[in-house]
Amino acid sequence: MPPSIDSILERFPNKQREDLIPMLQEIQDEFGFLSEEIINHVGAYLSISVNKIYGVATFYDNFRFGPTGRFHIRLCHGTACHVAGASTFIQELEKQLKIKSGETDKEGLFSLEVVSCVGACGLAPIIEINGEYFTQLTSEKLNDILQSFRIKDQDIYES
């Protein structure tokens, strides 16, 4: 059974402000994103204002405030991937999907997360979608990958 919010909060009995980031991370790992209700709950527990929590959490790219898309894209922006042009792919994805990192498109199809090194630097640049890795990315490959997931989504709905 997954832990409840309270059981996660109880792992931080000292209720210190420094607990905020690791606490939010644990909650997101468990629940997938940080809902307004969760943020309120955390604020009450740590005696921190909701605005302050949003201020801190939005500073980090890896926190999400809504559910992920049916296909969750994690684009590596570690050093090797950066050198290999990952920034271009971030821009391309943001433009094509009309979202920023941490957001989900309006159809709920794709969500985007920019992450640090996923540990396969020799194959940079890399993206991972729902656990599947795509390496030595090029713009052409990226378009084909997105298209293949769009088709996969149609197949799921038509079958």
Which of residues 5, 21, 56, 80 is near ligand FES by CB under 6 A? 80
| Residue 32 near residue 72, CB atoms below 8 Å | no
Whole-number Å distance between alpha carbons of 101 and 11: 29
Q: Does 127 bind ligand FES (CB under 6 A)?
A: no
Write down the least CB distance from residue 91 to ligand FES, Å: 17
Which of 104, 109, 101 shows the shortest CA–CA distance to 146? Answer: 109
Q: Does 129 bind ligand FES (CB under 6 A)?
A: no
Tokens of 1: 């059974």
Q: Does 128 bind ligand FES (CB under 6 A)?
A: no
CA pseudo-torsion sign 21, 23, 25, 28 = negative
Q: Does 121 bind ligand FES (CB under 6 A)?
A: yes
Write down the least CB distance from residue 134 to ligand FES, Å: 12
Helix (H, G, I), strand (E, B) or coil at 125: coil
Q: Does 97 bind ligand FES (CB under 6 A)?
A: no
Whole-number Å distance between alpha carbons of 30 and 102: 17
Q: Does 27 bind ligand FES (CB under 6 A)?
A: no
Residues forming the site for ligand FES (CB under 6 A): 76, 78-81, 117-121, 124, 126
